[in-house]
């Protein structure tokens, strides 16, 4: 067995064994995740929250847990939820499945407590238009119901009537929300991003352009801890920790090998 195959086998075991043992982890919430939780806690009951589902199947293992945890919190607080996608229509089927699953758990009704606005191409143009009149860009929801026929949109016209925007992004859409919704209209914006995007998102927290941030599986696990409902992320974190430990050992072993070679 070559060294490469030994590494692959050990990484597989490091993931599979903690999952099979069913260990769950409670992680300490970091300040950006705590800020996200507190931003939702501070919203008045029945406020409207707009969620951008801008992640596809390739990042589902990271993004779904945070989406589910956020929905759980939003419905628990009796907030109204409208979802849309500005990246790809393919992002919506999974997003709707999760939304309906969580909504059913809380006995929420379509059109009253939650709605699906669907996909609209033209990212920046759509974000700017939402600042004027939502009906200009979404005259009807994804199922073809006129927006005026849905009780949850009564009196909702633009960002002034939306308490919080959450963008769950695996790409650059969150940047457009910052540039065109937050900077131009002063929208309260919270983002959930993949771990890869985490470091590039931090500067927006420091500049207070974001009210909170969840990054990757760890961000989702921290949020699950805050809402006291361990789920998919908390189940994945022990495997994550074991693999990280293994990688650190590999790096140390590799460096030790180089050091030995260098001494010779």
Minimum distance between the CB of residue 79 and other proteins, rounded to whole angstroms? 26
φ and ψ at residue 50, rounded to 5 degrees? -100, 125
Q: Given the complex with other proteins, which of 164 and 233 has the nearer CB atom?
A: 233
Q: Given the complex with other proteins, which of 112 and 196 has the nearer CB atom?
A: 196
Q: Given the complex with other proteins, which of 164 and 210 has the nearer CB atom?
A: 210
DSSP per residue, 146-212: BGGGSGGGTT--SGGG-SEEEEEESSTHHHHIIIIIIHHH---EEEEE-GGGHHHHHHHHHTTS-SE
Q: Report if residue 209 touches other proteins, rule: CB under 8 A.
A: yes
Q: Which of 196, 245, 249, 252 binds other proteins (CB under 8 A)?
A: 196
What whole-number distance in Å separates Cα of residue 83 and Cα of residue 132?
18
With CB under 8 A as the rule, give the number of residues binding other proteins. Answer: 50
Q: Report if residue 6 touches other proteins, rule: CB under 8 A.
A: no
Between strands 212-215 and 189-193, the pairing is: parallel
Q: Given the complex with other proteins, which of 152 and 191 has the nearer CB atom?
A: 191
DSSP state of 110: B
Which region, left, alpha or beta, applies to residue 161 given φ > 0 means left and ψ of -120 to 50 means alpha? alpha
Q: Which of 80, 108, 188, 218 binds other proteins (CB under 8 A)?
A: 218
DSSP state of 92: H
Residues contributing to the site for other proteins (CB under 8 A): 5, 8, 11-12, 15-16, 19-20, 22, 58-62, 88-90, 119, 121, 124, 175-176, 178-180, 182-184, 194-196, 198-200, 203, 206-209, 215-218, 235-236, 239-240, 243-244, 247
């Amino acid at each position: 067995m070559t060294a490469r195959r030994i590494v692959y086998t050990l990484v597989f075991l490091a993931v599979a064994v903690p999952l099979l043992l069913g260990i769950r982890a409670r992680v300490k919430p970091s300040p950006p995740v705590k800020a996200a939780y507190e931003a939702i806690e501070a919203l008045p009951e029945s406020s409207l929250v707009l969620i951008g589902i801008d992640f596809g199947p390739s990042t589902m293992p990271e993004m779904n847990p945070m989406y589910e945890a956020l929905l759980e919190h939003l419905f628990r607080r009796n907030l109204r939820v409208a979802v849309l996608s500005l990246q790809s229509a393919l992002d919506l089927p999974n997003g709707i499945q999760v939304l309906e699953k969580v909504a059913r758990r809380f006995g929420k009704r379509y059109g009253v407590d939650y709605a699906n606005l669907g996909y609209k191409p033209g990212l920046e143009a759509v974000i700017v238009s939402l600042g004027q009149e939502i009906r200009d860009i979404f005259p009807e929801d994804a199922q073809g119901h006129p927006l005026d026929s849905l009780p949850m949109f009564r009196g909702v016209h633009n960002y002034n009537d939306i308490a919080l925007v959450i963008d769950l992004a695996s790409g650059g859409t969150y940047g457009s929300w910052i540039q065109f919704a937050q900077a131009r209209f002063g929208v309260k914006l919270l983002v959930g991003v993949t771990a890869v995007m985490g470091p590039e998102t931090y500067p927006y927290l420091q500049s207070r352009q974001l009210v909170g941030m969840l990054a990757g599986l760890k961000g989702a696990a921290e949020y699950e801890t805050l809402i006291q409902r361990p789920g998919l992320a908390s189940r994945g974190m022990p495997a994550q920790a074991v693999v990280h430990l293994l990688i650190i050992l590999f790096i140390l072993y590799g460096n030790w090998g180089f050091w030995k070679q260098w001494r010779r």
